[in-house]
Amino acid sequence: MLGQPFSHSDFARLDLPYRPQDPQSKHVGIGLIGCGGISRHHLQAYAKAGYSVVALCDIDRDKAVRQRDLFYPEAFVTDDPDELLALDGVAIADITTHPPVRPPLIEAAIRAGKHVLSQKPFVLDLAVGERLANLADECGVLLAVNQNGRWAPHFSYMRQAAGAGWLGKLAGLHFRAHWDHSWVKGLPFEKIRHLILYDYAIHWFDMLATLMHPRTANRVYASFTPGPTPPVEANLFAQVVVEYDDAQASLVFDGHTQRAEQHSTTLVGTRGTLHSSGPDENTQHIEVAVDGGSWHPTLMGRWFDDGFHGAMGELLRAIEDGRAPVHNARDNLASLAICFAAVASAEAHEPVVPGSVTKLHD
């Protein structure tokens, strides 16, 4: 069908495997390190999928106990990561701690012979990320990054549609998020200067890098502001322009939208256009328009918790298949390179070349 206009009869066959995909065996042991707030979504998704979490660890043992009692009552609990990593029943270490303390835990897990799913953003230093990816290769284990947005229903659908060639070669990619992120008030997240461009927008930078692969960005220009009536210390408004040889991308984040919230994405290609929009990240309506007509898929699922199901499911399937997962750490460095360039550009008020900024100080 590629290379030819779509006929109306083709639209009946335009189903895509955008839903999370499970491995043949769900009995691979998972050990969770870090039982803070985000771990609930990991465990909730894994329990619903039927995955096997056999151990939980947190330096505050009570947190691990609470999560165990809620989701996996038979799981082993410890406050010592080394104790968890020494367990024969743990094949995968799901590491959900904050970025500054994560690399040593990832390295310890790799050296213990465990596959790893690292929480995003992966690292604060591209060289550290490259070193960890190389170490995983040397030790014969897989290292993936929990870029769970790839399995949000609308992002997953557009990733599959673009990959199938429906849109042709992409020339315009535009992401818009207008929502209220002031829920971070009083939490450690409020202290992150570039909360939006770094912690939040990494999902969108990752989608951009994934959709454009293997093309690389030439320059990134970004700006940010706290807004006229800042509700929190962090800057909640940001915008980014990304230039390619033969394409352009833009990202707009209005993180203190108190009325009429809206999230939208437009992909423009040489063969078609895809629009996705809705009042939030979980409620999105998609239109695909090509020469033969248009297609309006009805999507099932939600970002939370399908994204976490999809990220772990892909790692489990990659282990079964003996291949690199699509969200492998080395490829994720391209997403981080755009992210770091955007943060540096916002500070310097000038364009930055992705890859020229290798560390993030935030």
Task: Give per-residue pLDDT as tens, 133-164.
Answer: 999 999 999 999 999 999 999 999 999 999 99
The pLDDT score that the predictor gives to residue 3 is 47
Cβ contact 23:317 at 8 Å: yes
The candidate with the shortest Cα–Cα distance to 208, out of 179, 241, 236, 249, is 249
AA letter at 284: Q
**pLDDT the model gives residue 41:** 97
Residue 15 has what pLDDT? 80
| Of 74, 136, 148, 76, nearest in space to 107 by CA | 136
Q: Which residue has the higher pLDDT, 295 or 49?
A: 49
Lowest average pLDDT, out of 163-167, 239-243, 352-356, goes to 163-167
Q: Which of 252, 193, 257 is nearest to 229 (CA)?
A: 257
**Cα–Cα distance list, 184 to 177, 189, 205, 234, 342 (Å):** 17, 6, 21, 9, 22
| % of the chain residues with pLDDT over 90 | 92
* Rounded CA separation 362/356 (Å): 17
Residue 6 has pLDDT above 90, yes or no: no
Tokens 């790893």, residue? 116
The larger pLDDT score, comparing residue 245 to residue 189, is at 245
Predicted confidence at residue 259, as pLDDT, reads 97
Give the residue-averaged pLDDT of 23-35: 98
User: Which tokens sit at 293?
Assistant: 């007509």
Residue 4 pLDDT greater than 70, yes or no: no
Listed in order, strand segments (DSSP E) in the chain are 29-33, 52-57, 76-78, 92-95, 115-118, 143-145, 170-178, 219-225, 237-243, 248-254, 262-269, 272-278, 285-290, 293-295
pLDDT at res. 292: 82
Give the pLDDT band (50/70/90) at residue 1: very low
Residue 288's closest CA among 279, 278, 276? 276
Residues 6 or more apart in contact with residue 274 via CB below 8 angstroms: 158, 161, 162, 166, 167, 265, 266, 267, 286, 287, 288, 289
- The Cα 103–Cα 294 span in angstroms is 46
Tell me what the mean pLDDT of segment 232-253 comes to.
97
Q: Give the pLDDT score at 291.
A: 87
- Return the residue matching tokens 């999105």: 284
The strand pair at 170-178 and 248-254 is best described as parallel
Mean pLDDT score, 186-196: 91
pLDDT on residue 352: 98
DSSP label at residue 176:
E
Distance CA 331, CA 315 (A): 14
Provide the pLDDT for residue 360: 87
pTM recorded for the entire structure: 0.95
Query: What is the pLDDT confidence band of residue 115, given thresholds at 50, 70 and 90?
Result: very high
Given a cut of 80, is residue 362 above it in pLDDT? no
14 has a pLDDT exceeding 80: no
Local structure of 114: helix, strand or coil:
coil
Does the pLDDT of residue 273 top 50, yes or no? yes
> What pLDDT was estimated at residue 2?
43
Residue 11 binned pLDDT confidence (cut-offs 50, 70, 90) = low
Between the alpha carbon of residue 343 and those of residues 12, 285, 319, 340, the distances in Å are 44, 31, 34, 5
Q: Report the pLDDT value the prediction gives residue 5, as an integer from 0 to 100.
A: 57
